[in-house]
Amino acid sequence: MAKAIKHIKAGLLHIEVIGQVPERDGRKPRAARSRPTSPAQTFYNHKCSWRELELKLAANFGKSDFFLTLTYDDAHLPKNKAAAIKDIQKFFRKLRASRKKRGEELRYIYCTEGNHGAQKDEYLGADRELEDKRLHHHVVLNGYGEESMEEIRSLWHGGGYVNIEAVNIHYYRELAKYMTKEAREFGSPKPGERSWRGSRNLHNYEVEYVEIPVDNVTLTAPPGAQDYVPFSEKNPYGFSDSVGARYLLPEDEEPEPQESYARPRKRKRRP
């Protein structure tokens, strides 16, 4: 396979990974599960989950959007997680109907938690009493100013507090890890079940492979890049994971081809 730089663009977030262009031909169908998932595979499954969530968050939400925590009082607390999921979906239906009257769309990603105790996150602050081993929801959705904040509070029927914060574009990764923490700490309720869900109208991120004719490539920050961080990660099981860089790029800037290779050929792939 040809050597390439995999360039992922998700809104303002750009990730470049040095690797190989995958071949489409010769793919084998996935066999049915015949043995328990190994610890190494479980690690990768969880990592893929928060990485996918990070890209979805970046592709769909920015500074004008909201990160919510929706909680229940004792009188409205659902009996189990399945009931809580039905409850949050009812909330989305009400909010979607309200916005539709004004010609506004609703895009969201959410997770439902209830196993962890009160925690303090370095980036997102401390949990409060109604998040301490109680069912609650974390939601990221598109906002329409302060009026939409009041609308969210008025439509939430859980009886608990509603915490609303602006999305911080510098912490997509941390937010993704925060919203997938229960699967890592307590495991998935069902094999293969994703720990987060989203609306059907979410935007996709873009993936492009730029072939390079040389083995030694140095990634550099493009003009205007913010939060540029090179990485060379390894997993806890001793195997190399990936080499690349990540950064934010304002919408009026476009990354230029790296100067360390010549005449690249671009191949676009669906994510």
Q: Where along the chain do its domains lie?
A: 64-166
pLDDT band at 169 (very low <50, low <70, confident <90, very high): very high
Q: Taking residues 97-102, what's their average pLDDT?
A: 97
The answer, yes or no, to whether residue 256 has pLDDT greater than 90, is no
CATH code: domain 64-166 is: 3.30.70
Q: What are phi and psi of 186, to 5 degrees?
A: -120, -5
Degrees, nearest 5: CA angle 133-139-145: 135
The answer, yes or no, to whether residue 115 has pLDDT greater than 70, is yes
Average pLDDT, the chain: 81
CB-based contact 28:15 (threshold 8 Å): no
Q: Is 48 helix (H, G, I), strand (E, B) or coil?
A: helix
The answer, yes or no, to whether residue 32 has pLDDT greater than 60, is no
Least confident range from 64-73, 114-123, 191-200: namely 114-123
Q: Residue 171: how many CB atoms within 10 A of its CB?
A: 18
CB-based contact 30:255 (threshold 8 Å): no
